[in-house]
Amino acid sequence: MIDPFDSIAGYVQLHVLVPLLWHLDLMRWEDLAYGWALFAVYGAAQVALMFALCVPLERLFPVERWPDQRVVLTDIFYTVVQRVGVLPLVTFVGFYEVQARLNGFLTDHGYVPPTLERFLPFLMGWPVATFLLYAIILDFADYWRHRISHRIGWWWALHSLHHAQRQMTFWSDDRNHVLDDLIGALWFGAIALLIGVSPMQFPLLVLFLRLLESLSHANARIDFGPVLGRVLVSPRFHRAHHGVGAYGARSCNFGAVFPWWDMLFGTADFSRDYVPTGDPSGDEALASGSYLAQQMAGLRRLLGRGKQPAAVQ
Amino acid sequence: MRWVWRGLLGVAILLPAAALARPLAFVLNSDDASISIIDMATRREIRREPVLRQPHHITLSPDGKLVLAGDTVGNQILYLDPETGRILRRQTISDPYQLMFSPDGRVLTVTGLARNQVDIYAFTDATGLTLLHRVPARSMPSHIAYAPDSSVVYVSLQGSNRLMAISVRSGAVLWDVPVGETPAGVLWDHDHVLVGLMGEDGIAVVDPTDGHVLRMVRTGRGAHNLFFSPDGRLIYVTNRVAGTITVLDRASLTVLRDYRVPGGPDDIEFAPDGTLWVTQRFDHGVLFLDPRTGTYSRINVGRSPHGIFLNTDRHTHRTEEP
Ligand SMILES: [Zn+2]
Ligand SMILES: [Zn+2]
């Protein structure tokens, strides 16, 4: 059985991308284009699905009500750019030769990135289990990336863009500074050198995980309860991370999918109720500026020109 | 506990049937981390053999006892039993994209597409692959062909519009020259090297002594890979953008006919009944083309099927002169 998303991606590849690449003398990227078509089709499905799920939830159980929601438009832009893979694509092409050289260098020095199956041979032939194990390990790595980004001044200057939104909705998951996204890509690239990359043939599982991350930003009174809430990150849990009093180093609940790492390393706070969000220590442009204004404000803060974070210890 | 006995009985009935080897076809689903094992007689997919991450190309060992498949992102070469399709063993090799044995069967060339290197290995059944030469290349080394005497290997550099010639014995680069936009498939033919040009609408005829392009033969937009017919009289060219397969007369390189083939045709193998088995890269399928009528049927396989291998007795080497 072929799922319909695959068929759409194949159609887009054959009838739009391949002819376009041929005309632009870019046929060397043909294989990449197909990967991107799959990514974009599943990304569009993610957006459609989270829209269908989160809009009713935000209507039924809102935490906050805003008369004017124009600032949410910027978050929608972030989401679309990210989920249909514009930034990942540009990053991949831009760094392709650097990556190829690094691969060649490592091969020359006898280093071949392993896979989890090499450490744990019983995983061989069990790709779904392997995928889930990668998801857990990568979520753990992301916990530390996120936690450190709150502690280091210049990194927080970039990440504070994510926290600046006072009208936090399910669209807010992807609002990040491009340099912060780039650091994230390098972080996971480095981990890939150590444990390889996850099996990639389960876009539906990726879709589910991404859906959960969007939901965790939703403007909705949703708590997963004492049991499930300790298994998966709920909107209530992540809202505490975005609380006005919780910016910078003072924050809690850094986990993206699993709250386990916060529980394990003492940064979990299940008690904070539905708090207002935002980062009062930053420039107003970070919160309500246009896409470009936000990116520039983040850059200014990074270079020490904007309002400086008072929170970093 | 009746089910135990029924189960055992079932196994006892099925085992002898499985032991009766039927000719199998192997299709590498590059974006599905699997190899489709197909019964050639019924053209039905029997099962999918899981691999690590991204299998692309497959080739038979010179003694015909093993099939080698490269898993690029998994950094592995898999050794499979050509009769059963089972994975017998694995060897860690960085990014094995294309892989092809020399006509004399002494070396295997592997291109590292994502690491800009070409590896030349010695191969024995007992030890597997042993690196002889690792040659740095320009961007995206992809397809491979040998001179008939196995002295030189030709590699297309997809990302830098070039073709390079490497001495098999010394690993020295003999030449490395531009041949046209996005070169892909390479084939030695009558003292020439033919190169499919994906960024153009045909193939380049290249002088093997210095790599300069003697002339172009128009086949169709996005000319990708080239294959000799089993009788050695024809050359089939897959044209990815045009969605066609062009038939060339081998002696004159004139176009005899075109077949319309949907789904992004990639690699071709020839079944004993004369059918062309074609992987449809962007339509998760294998297409069976009857060259007499131009009609075809197809079956579904995994996502982005790339390399294909049919375990037939008359399997001939691509670069062999008929
Ligand atoms: Zn944060
Ligand atoms: Zn967040």
Nearest CA in chain B to A121: B52
Closest approach of chain A CAs to the CA of B144, in angstroms? 16
Cβ-Cβ contacts under 8 Å, A10 against chain B: 263-264, 282-284
Q: Is A53 on the interface with B (CB under 8 A)?
A: no
Looking only at the bridges linking them, the beta strands covering B213-218 and B202-206 are antiparallel
Torsion of CA A91, A93, A95, A100, to 10 degrees: 140
Interface of A with B in 31-50 (CB under 8 A): 34-35, 38
Say what percent of chain B tops pLDDT 70: 90
Locate A281 and state its tokens.
Answer: 């220590």
pLDDT digits (tens, 9 = 90+) for B180-189: 999 999 999 9
Say what percent of chain B tops pLDDT 90: 87
Give residue A311's pLDDT.
46
Helix (H, G, I), strand (E, B) or coil at B208: coil
Q: Which amino acid is at B65?
A: K
Query: For chain B, how are helix, strand and coil distributed in percent, rounded to 5?
Result: 5, 50, 45
Give residue B289's pLDDT.
96
| Cβ separation B93–A112 shorter than 8 A | yes
Residue A313 lies in a domain: no
Q: In the predicted model, what is the mean pLDDT of residues B50-72?
A: 94
Which of A233-247, B199-213, B296-310 shows the lowest per-residue confidence on average (mean pLDDT)?
A: A233-247
Nearest to B116 among A13, A101, A196 (CB): A101
Give residue B4's pLDDT.
53
pLDDT digits (tens, 9 = 90+) for B9-36: 555 555 444 445 689 999 999 999 999 9
- Rounded distance from Cα B5 to ligand 2 centre (Å): 57
Residue among B28, B52, B76, B181 with most chain A CBs within 10 A, to mutate: B52
A169 φ/ψ angles, rounded to the nearest 5 degrees: -135, 180
Q: What is the ipTM of this complex?
A: 0.86
Give residue A312's pLDDT.
43
**Gap between the Cα atoms of A247 and A159, Å rounded:** 10
* DSSP letter (8 states) at residue A13: I
Which one, of B15, B161, B114, B241, lies nearest residue A32 by Cα? Answer: B114
**Gap between the Cα atoms of A12 and A38, Å rounded:** 9
Query: Which pTM does this prediction carry?
Result: 0.88
**Gap between the Cα atoms of B141 and B116, Å rounded:** 6
- Rounded distance from Cα A43 to ligand 1 centre (Å): 23
- The structure tokens 């506990």 sit at B1
- Rounded distance from Cα A128 to ligand 1 centre (Å): 29
Cβ-Cβ contacts under 8 Å, B50 against chain A: 125, 127
Cβ-Cβ contacts under 8 Å, B31 against chain A: 34-35, 38, 200-201
- Give me the total of CB pairs closer than 8 Å, taking one residue from chain A and one from chain B: 118
Which one, of B307, B243, B31, B54, lies nearest residue A37 by Cα? Answer: B31
**Gap between the Cα atoms of B201 and B99, Å rounded:** 26
Closest approach of chain A CAs to the CA of B2, in angstroms? 30
Cβ-Cβ contacts under 8 Å, B53 against chain A: 115, 196-197, 199-200
The DSSP string of A147-201 is: HHHHHSHHHHHHHHHHH--SS--GGGGG---HHHHHHHHHHHHHHHHHH------
Which one, of B161, B163, B219, B159, lies nearest residue B187 by Cα? Answer: B163
Closest approach of chain B CAs to the CA of A82, in angstroms? 22
Nearest to A104 among B136, B199, B281 (CB): B136
Cβ-Cβ contacts under 8 Å, A8 against chain B: none
Give residue A208's pLDDT.
87
Give residue B86's pLDDT.
93
Residue A84 lies in a domain: yes
**Gap between the Cα atoms of B108 and A261, Å rounded:** 47
Nearest CA in chain A to B48: A125
Residue A258 lies in a domain: yes
Nearest CA in chain B to A23: B199
Q: CA B58: distance to chain centroid?
A: 6
Contacts for A86 with CB less than 8 Å, ≥ 6 apart: none
**Gap between the Cα atoms of B322 and B320, Å rounded:** 6
Ligand nearest to the CA of A75: 2
- Rounded distance from Cα A260 to ligand 2 centre (Å): 17
Looking only at the bridges linking them, the beta strands covering B24-29 and B141-146 are unpaired
Fold (CATH) for B182-260: Thrombin, subunit H (2.40.10)
| Cβ separation B241–A19 shorter than 8 A | yes
Residue A112 lies in a domain: yes
Which one, of B46, B167, B69, lies nearest residue B118 by Cα? Answer: B167
Give residue B171's pLDDT.
95
Instruction: Tell me the torsion sign for CA atoms B78, B79, B80, B82.
Output: positive
Residue among A5, A28, A105 with most chain B CBs within 10 A, to mutate: A28
Quote the domain boundaries for residue A280: 4-302
Q: Is A189 on the interface with B (CB under 8 A)?
A: no
Contact status, residue B269 vs residue B308, Cβ threshold 8 Å? yes
Cβ-Cβ contacts under 8 Å, A22 against chain B: 198-199, 221-222, 241
The total of structural domains in chain A comes to 1
Cβ-Cβ contacts under 8 Å, A193 against chain B: none
Query: For chain A, how are helix, strand and coil distributed in percent, rounded to 5?
Result: 65, 0, 35
**Gap between the Cα atoms of B66 and B79, Å rounded:** 6
- The structure tokens 């006919």 sit at B257
Q: How crowded is the C-beta side of A132, counted as CA atoms within 13 Å?
A: 4
- Rounded distance from Cα A214 to ligand 1 centre (Å): 14
- What angle do helix axes A70-83 and A291-302 make, rounded to 10 degrees? 80
What A240-244 contacts at long range (C-beta under 8 Å, 24+ apart), as own/partner pairs, is: A240/A269, A240/A272, A240/A275, A242/A163, A242/A165, A242/A168, A242/A217, A242/A277, A242/A278, A243/A272, A243/A275, A243/A276, A243/A277, A244/A275, A244/A276, A244/A277, A244/A278, A244/A279, A244/A280
Contacts for B132 with CB less than 8 Å, ≥ 6 apart: B107, B120, B121, B122, B171
- CA B127 → CA A192, B64, B171, distances in Å? 29, 16, 21
Q: Which helix (H) or strand (E) holds B63?
A: none
Count of H helices and E strands in chain A?
16, 0
| Cβ separation A199–B182 shorter than 8 A | no
Nearest to B73 among A9, A38, A197 (CB): A197
Nearest CA in chain B to A1: B300
Each of the 313 residues of chain A gets a pLDDT tens digit; together they read 568 888 999 999 999 999 999 999 999 999 999 989 998 998 898 899 999 999 999 999 988 888 888 888 999 999 988 888 888 888 888 889 999 999 999 999 999 999 999 999 999 989 999 999 999 999 999 999 999 999 998 999 999 999 999 999 999 999 999 999 999 989 998 999 999 999 888 888 888 888 999 999 999 998 998 999 999 999 999 999 998 877 666 788 999 999 999 999 999 988 888 888 888 888 888 888 899 999 999 999 988 865 555 544 3
Give residue B176's pLDDT.
97
Ligand nearest to the CA of A267: 1
pLDDT digits (tens, 9 = 90+) for B113-170: 999 999 999 998 778 899 999 999 999 999 999 999 999 999 999 999 999 999 999 9
**Gap between the Cα atoms of A215 and A169, Å rounded:** 8
Q: Which helix (H) or strand (E) holds A125?
A: none
The DSSP string of B261-319 is: --S-EEEEEE-TTSPEEEEETTTTEEEEE-TTT--EEEEE-SSSEEEEEE--TT---TT
Contacts for B20 with CB less than 8 Å, ≥ 6 apart: none
**Over the range B182-203, which residues count as b (16 or more CB within 10 Å of their CB) and which as e?**
bbbbbbbbeebbbbbbbbbbbb
The DSSP string of B153-164 is: EEEEETTTTEEE
- CA A221 → CA A64, A217, A235, A272, A275, distances in Å? 9, 11, 7, 13, 11
Cβ-Cβ contacts under 8 Å, B262 against chain A: 14
Which one, of A3, A5, A36, A2, lies nearest residue A18 by Cα? Answer: A36
Q: Comparing B6 with A51, which gets the higher pLDDT?
A: A51
Give residue B17's pLDDT.
45
Nearest CA in chain B to A16: B241
- The structure tokens 């030709």 sit at B154
